Amino acid sequence: MTLQMNWSRASTLLQRLGSVIGLVLLFIVLSVMSPDFLTTGNLLTVLRQVSINALIAFGMTFVILAGGIDLSVGAILAFTGAITAGLMASGHGIVLSVGAGLGLGLILGMVNGVLVSWGKVAPFIATLGTLTLLRGLTLSYTQGSPIPVTNQSFALVGGGYVANLVPLPVIWMFIAFVVCGFLLRGTVFGRHVVAIGGNEEAARLSGVRIAPMKIAIYGLSGLLSAFAGIVLTSRLYSAQATAGQGYELDAIAAVVLGGTSLAGGRGWLFGTLIGALLIGFLNNGLNLLGVSSFYQQVVKGIVILIAVLLDRRQ
Amino acid sequence: MRKLTFLAAAAATLLAACSQQGPGESAPAAGSTAGGAAAGGKPVIGLALSTQNNPFFVELKDGAQKAADASGVQLVVVDAQDDPARQISSVEDLIQKRVSVILLNPTDSSALAGAVQSAQRANIPVITLDRGVDGAEVASHIASDNIAGGKMAADYLAKQLGGKGNIIELQGVAGTSAARERGKGFDDEIATTGMKVVAQQPANFDRAQGLSVSENLLQGNSDVQAIFAQNDEMALGAVQALAGKNKKVLVVGFDGTPDGKKAVQDGQMAATVAQQPEEIGRLGVETAKKLVDKQPVDKSIAVPLKLLTKE
């Protein structure tokens, strides 16, 4: 009897920690198979590679928790990156350029929220529309060619290190994680996000103001995408017109791998971080092992499918 | 328990995919799965491709792979899917793998400087293929010999036209190295013959612009025997501009794209100066091998082009 109770408690824990166990297993497999995997240099490299996806995925977690989806994140990243680099190229300072980029991301995200809440457009369609619109605007603004960044201090945002060891993007990622984690677990805002995703009608009846909440949620997603865009632009020494293509899918994959339900209402931010790390270590490990990029996609696809299957069975 | 089974299955799938593709991907390797030069045995060379969705780069990879098999080095290929951010990550992975040399076919010449510098800090020489990198020194740059290609086109026309005739030249995007070098090779060689370039104008490597620019130039120059376009797209535009007119004008393109080759086969274009991506890949690996063996290499290696005609 006692044994059975313990076992059921353990199995609940297993469900919750599925992604963590997956990551640990992946870690062990890769450490055994590649001697170059388990080195400080490599682990920090992967953390830096993961940071862009993680920043976007944190915002995506809020959107998906509230029962929505945001396909425009990659396009917002490219557009705000281009505007930030463009402002700097025309002689504006870092603070103004970065501030404008972040502000623009927030506004673009809020536009998504307005379309979804007041416009009653399905999130998939609304953000597909803004994705296409912003891609077009980015191409016309940049004329299709990269905007180079020459500002050396800006280059530090994505290329700098703390204590000559920890890459700055990793620091940004952890700051964003702590702030978003607090927003989700420690504030009324976070509880309302989960309530909307669980049952929107019930949330509305119990006094949650749905429209402003959705505008804020998509705004947060836009803001974090813009932040990712600025870090990426800095890291590439240039804003690329075609940057961020397909990033929406990587972010959604991170959220789902982390155990957040695509149906909304159930999930956690720590899972998203683990999901992003899973994707990052998978990419890195397969590169270290010399696996062809075609098979890499196959492996990633299988892992995502397994995560979704786990989600369905819960 | 079921979850555990799932996760075990996931790990197993991963393992299966890896062990199949690990060493086998590059060569019938005799040793273990892993290791850069430090692990002993075969030297490992990394090839960071911009994309494999374009036949040009697939041929480049195939050429590199053949050369690697022939010269006993292991080739690790990573693909950026045309995303500079992904390419930086994959170059970093190659650095962590401590490959002996990195062959880099950049997605973009402005974004990869940082990655090249990281490689150099790790004492891994970088060789750029097809496209260069701005803002960083590389051990060698291997690309088509565009000047010689332009000369080749001019020589071909001189032979066909008996050294006499008027030519229209369609230029590529102003300021690009391809447009500059192809134009220089062509113009310099034409100057040594009795032929004359009567009009030249940019059509930006674009088929539609090639059509309209050709129409305009043909309007103003009735006595024209040939059109030289600095790429196949513009040449195909010129072919369309000539379609209604019943007079013989030789069109020569550049690149040897599938459409270009087909137009040459169909007799619509007289010739195209084809690039040899396989050759770029082969020379890349051979140059990397020289670096591994501590032999000197040339800073810049020009890969010959090949004139394709109907025969």
Residues B148-167: pLDDT tens digits?
Answer: 999 999 999 999 999 999 99
Give the model's pLDDT for residue B26: 32
The candidate with the shortest Cα–Cα distance to B18, out of A139, A132, A23, A34, is A34
Nearest CA in chain A to B116: A236
Residue B97: band (very low, low, confident or very high) from pLDDT cuts 50, 70, 90: very high
> Best residue in B96, B117, B131, B173 to probe A by mutation, most A CBs within 10 Å?
B96
Give the model's pLDDT for residue A7: 60
Complete DSSP assignment for B265-290: HTTSSSEEEE--HHHHHHHHHHHHHH
Give the model's pLDDT for residue B22: 31
For residue B35, give the amino acid letter.
G
- Per-residue pLDDT at A11 exceeds 50: yes
Distance CA B310, CA B160 (A): 13
List all residues of chain B from 27 to 46 with a beta carbon under 8 Å from chain A: 33-36, 39
- Per-residue pLDDT at B38 exceeds 50: no
Burial of A206 (0-12, 13-18, 19+ CB in 10 A): exposed
Over residues A136-158, the mean pLDDT reads 88
Residue A3: band (very low, low, confident or very high) from pLDDT cuts 50, 70, 90: low
Radius of gyration of chain B, Cα coordinates, nearest whole angstrom: 23
Angle between helix A168-186 and helix A188-198 axes, rounded to 10 deg:
70
Give the model's pLDDT for residue B184: 94
Distance CA A299, CA A312 (A): 20
Nearest to A292 among B2, B25, B35 (CB): B25
CA A159 to chain B, closest CA, distance in angstroms equals 8
Q: Do B96 and A302 touch (CB under 8 A)?
A: no
Give the model's pLDDT for residue B31: 34
pLDDT tens per residue, range B156-204 = 999 999 999 999 999 988 777 788 899 999 999 999 999 999 999 989 8
Distance CA A68, CA A65 (A): 7
Over residues B98-117, the mean pLDDT reads 91
CB-CB neighbours of A294 under 10 Å: 10
List all residues of chain B from 243 to 262 with a beta carbon under 8 Å from chain A: none
> Best residue in B1, B6, B14 to probe A by mutation, most A CBs within 10 Å?
B14
Radius of gyration of chain A, Cα coordinates, nearest whole angstrom: 20
Instruction: Please tell me the total number of residues recorded for chain A in this structure.
Output: 314
- Per-residue pLDDT at B1 exceeds 50: no
Q: If you ran DSSP here, which 8-state letter would residue B305 be given?
A: P
Distance CA A261, CA A266 (A): 6
The candidate with the shortest Cα–Cα distance to B200, out of B178, B183, B185, B188, is B183
List all residues of chain B from 192 to 211 with a beta carbon under 8 Å from chain A: none
pLDDT tens per residue, range B120-144 = 999 999 999 998 898 889 999 999 9
